[in-house]
Structure 1
Amino acid sequence: MQTEIPKRFAGMAPRYTSYPTAPHFHSRIDEAVHARWLSELAPNSSLSLYVHIPYCDRLCWFCGCATKQTNRYDPVRKYLEVLKREIAFTASKLDGTARVTRLHFGGGSPTMLTPEDLIDLSRHLRAHFNFESHAEICVEIDPTDMTPEKCDAMAETGLTRASLGVQDFDPEIQKTINRIQTFEETAQVVSALRDRGVNSLNLDLLYGLPLQTLETVQKSVELAVSLEPDRLALFGYAHVPWIRKHQTMIDENLLPGQKQRLDQASLASRRLQEAGYQAIGIDHFARPDDALAVAAREGELKRNFQGYTNDEATALLGFGASSISQLPQGYAQNSPATADYMRRFDETGLATVRGFELSADDRARSWVIERLMCDFGFEEAALKARFGALSLPIFRQAAELAASEGAIFRFEDGRYQITSEGRPFTRMIATQFDSYFGKGPARHSIAV
């Protein structure tokens, strides 16, 4: 089991679901720029859609998502009206030939929606965008929100994959994070979805939670595996109370230390692989015949705001408060506050408050960081063929890193590669190629 953490790589780092990362977005990317970028999308572009539902009926203290608690449905209903108008407005900026290959409902808790509203929202999206017949439809699920009627509604939307939040099955740990959810509740939802033809299921687990030990992590992994999911995500708890104020409800004295976190991650990873799951990137696991596992083996794995994916879409369009669109020109993010999001949309037609236009150097570094996060390395020839002279400073940085940290990063047979010993430190290694890292006030979560 891993016991040593190199000092240089024991700090905090982004998760690199984008490059540059969101803390470096700026207000010069506004509604007008966003609208222009949409209008410049090439004909017949493939689209991935993300719809954000920023509401929960309880606030889990570990959560790092952009969400708010409400015990009333009226705010959700008002939000949905604006959301549908944003969808229609965005579609009007395109030429009508774009094709949707993927739709992801995220949150918050999309399962807050009534069955009628979920079906209505799905129909609205299909009325304004051309969906491929094989489009993947995914929803994030809080199992404690689910009812048979909601399962029926999800099946009616054409749901192909469900991602169930689990975190940990231990009741005492659940109390410390305000997430009471029994194994039996989760198993019932898994069974109900499979009965309705939703055959691809993902479970999200966390390590580094308060009171977690090697024994509790192993038990949760075993219970999760018993549900036979197609995929599992194993995330390190990101304690960022300076961003998510509700995390101050967690007693920091109960959090495992960095070495304990590393040991928990190593144990869970080993157990999942022993159970027949293929390790993918830094924190995902999938059955060998799953599309994500196939993409990883074939060098076609991608990374975006939903994590690891095999999504090949030209653009990702985000709808709702805090959502981020990833377009060929760069990134555009909506206002995170729901009230401000709705006000801005009423005033301008979009609710964009910040973003980032990519330079040629950004694109080269983005490619390198994505390959490190997905493949743990990159080919020297491939980087040079794609980016020419822009590769030279990156090669210098890579050579210097290999010379100083050969135990975890080295150059062999034309490839810069993170070693097996270095994989737990992939996020910190990626920072070495991030020209924005350490600049500005951005703070991140522990990298291990």
Structure 2
Amino acid sequence: MPTAPLSFSRDSLGLNPALIRKYNQPAPRYTSYPTALKFKAVEDRSGRSALLADLEDAEGPLSLYVHVPYCRSLCWFCGCAKVISTDTSLADKYLDYLDMEVRRYAGLIREGRKVVQLHFGGGSPNFLSPKQVRRLSGILRGAFEFDDAAEISVELDPRTLSEAQVAAFMELGVNRASIGVQDVNRKVQEAIHRIQPTETNAKTISWLRAAGIHSINVDLIYGLPYQTEESFKETLQEVLSYDPDRLAVFSYAHVPWSKPAQKILERSPLPDADSKIEILIQTVEKLTGCGYSHVGMDHFAKLEDPLVKAQRAKTLQRNFQGYSLHANVDICAFGMSAISQSQNAFRQNYKDLDTYYRMLDEGNIPLEKGYLLTRDDQVRREVIMRLMCDLELDFAERGAVNGIDFSSYFESEIEGLKGMESDGLVCFTEKGLSVTPLGRLLIRNVACRFDAYLGNASQGFSKAI
């Protein structure tokens, strides 16, 4: 029998404008630690490089990520690596090179390692035609052995999805789907250049459920032009009628210095930090009151969902795809801009197609940047992940796992958290540290305390609110 979601009350938060201003500072989302801003240019792209060496030695399961960069139109809020085109034949060349990369990469991996997770992101994976989806399936299954119970998920754009594409993804083995909705209000949609009628969303969900894909996630974004508490309440109400298993409610990351198209949004009124936090509070209240658990940061799931069960069991993980069920897996990522992760290293492919293609033509793994973790990085990565997933830290337990005296190792960090305790974000317990309901809303700020690289130089990240 699932337990009730954590009670959440606006009145109990003690949130005020001064506190919002204090914590509305640039902060990472911690899908990795160290963050991608610490990655360095790669010089050696051979299989003998230090960045790739642990692939040959490592054992255990694999998680695959495939980046499909193409979109038919540009959503002005988007921060993803993408290529805008309506010419689906471009994907044929992309698959040629993806095939080359997959085979080259797979040749470095020890035999017998099974794939337990596969995720297709973008861009828009359903830019691919059904024939191209089937070809991609052949590329991956020809190079890797899949576990019979592998979790295979795909991000879908309902505006361009066809029932034939759903069938092709089902043949590939997809058992989870995430659909981008963002907001159902027409004025908001016009301001972000993404017109998506309710009928389109409903049709997509109908197709997915008829095909047997019953684990459906809906993505929303708050902080977009013209959004208000009242308008977003209507969006939540409509999306709840879709009965999704999970919701991801992301804070819009306004970073026009790296995504110039976002400057267009400044022509319309953007919600300020006070409005954004009110929308978020309303969202948490509404969803937890309707049978969803606030898993952490921006994710919600039904009480019987495996994500919620994993959080209760303290086995929940966090990586570049967000929250995950799979621990101790190496992530092998393919395609333009894709980021791979292993115990000792991060590796990121080139973000532009021409260089990605050229590197493969020259016989290389198409790496642009990478990072080798130090022992301190590994300790902090584990602590930040457990904080983001468990929303608490047992100092003795974390110390034993990492072979350190936690209180001594993180003496200055613990001291720095006392100010957050005064502000109501965390509380110290007999065992360690617990994040409060208010702290859940500002979990990025709490995690920052364990980041050795931020200091006063957190530029480059979006604001926490």
TM-score w.r.t. structure 1 length?
0.96
| Counterpart for residue 74 of structure 1 | 89
Larger mean Cα displacement after TM superposition, 111-120 or 31-40: 31-40
C-alpha distance in 2 between matches for 1:354 and 1:440: 21
Listed one character per residue, the Cα deviations across residues 241-284 of structure 1 (whole Å, up to 9, x for unaligned) are 11111111212651100010000011011111111111101111
The structural deviation recorded for 1:29 is 6.7
Which among 12, 26, 32 is matched to residue 12 of structure 1? 26
| Counterpart for residue 237 of structure 1 | 252
Letter in 2 for 1:27: A
Are the structure 2 counterparts of residues 84 and 142 from structure 1 closer, same or farther at C-alpha, using a change threshold of 3 Å?
Answer: same
TM-score w.r.t. structure 2 length?
0.93
Residues 346-365 of structure 1: matches in 2 within 5 Å?
A: 346-365=361-380
Runs of 5+ in structure 1 lacking a partner?
A: none
- Alignment of 1:137 onto 2:152: yes
**Number of aligned residues:** 446
Which among 416, 425, 431 is matched to residue 433 of structure 2? 416
Runs of 5+ in structure 2 lacking a partner?
A: 1-9
The structural deviation recorded for 1:393 is 5.2
The structural deviation recorded for 1:41 is 2.1
Q: Is the 8 A contact 1:214 1:267 kept in 2?
A: yes
- Alignment of 1:428 onto 2:445: yes
C-alpha distance in 2 between matches for 1:398 and 1:313: 27
C-alpha distance in 1 between matches for 2:102 and 2:332: 10
What SS is found at the alignment partner of 2:179?
strand
| Counterpart for residue 102 of structure 1 | 117
C-alpha distance in 2 between matches for 1:268 and 1:443: 27
Letter in 2 for 1:154: F
What SS is found at the alignment partner of 2:41?
coil
Listed one character per residue, the Cα deviations across residues 201-230 of structure 1 (whole Å, up to 9, x for unaligned) are 000011111100001111111111101111
Are the structure 2 counterparts of residues 30 and 59 from structure 1 closer, same or farther at C-alpha, using a change threshold of 3 Å?
Answer: farther
C-alpha distance in 2 between matches for 1:394 and 1:162: 41
| Counterpart for residue 300 of structure 1 | 315
The structural deviation recorded for 1:3 is 3.6
- Alignment of 1:25 onto 2:54: no
What SS is found at the alignment partner of 1:436?
coil
| Counterpart for residue 280 of structure 1 | 295
| Counterpart for residue 64 of structure 1 | 79
C-alpha distance in 2 between matches for 1:231 and 1:29: 41
- Alignment of 1:177 onto 2:186: no
- Alignment of 1:342 onto 2:357: yes
| Counterpart for residue 346 of structure 2 | 331
Q: Cα RMSD over matched residues?
A: 1.6
The structural deviation recorded for 1:387 is 2.2
| Counterpart for residue 188 of structure 1 | 203
Are the structure 2 counterparts of residues 201 and 29 from structure 1 closer, same or farther at C-alpha, using a change threshold of 3 Å?
Answer: farther
What SS is found at the alignment partner of 1:413?
coil
Q: Is the 8 A contact 1:46 1:101 kept in 2?
A: yes
Q: Is the 8 A contact 1:397 1:432 kept in 2?
A: no
C-alpha distance in 2 between matches for 1:313 and 1:103: 15
C-alpha distance in 2 between matches for 1:253 and 1:180: 16
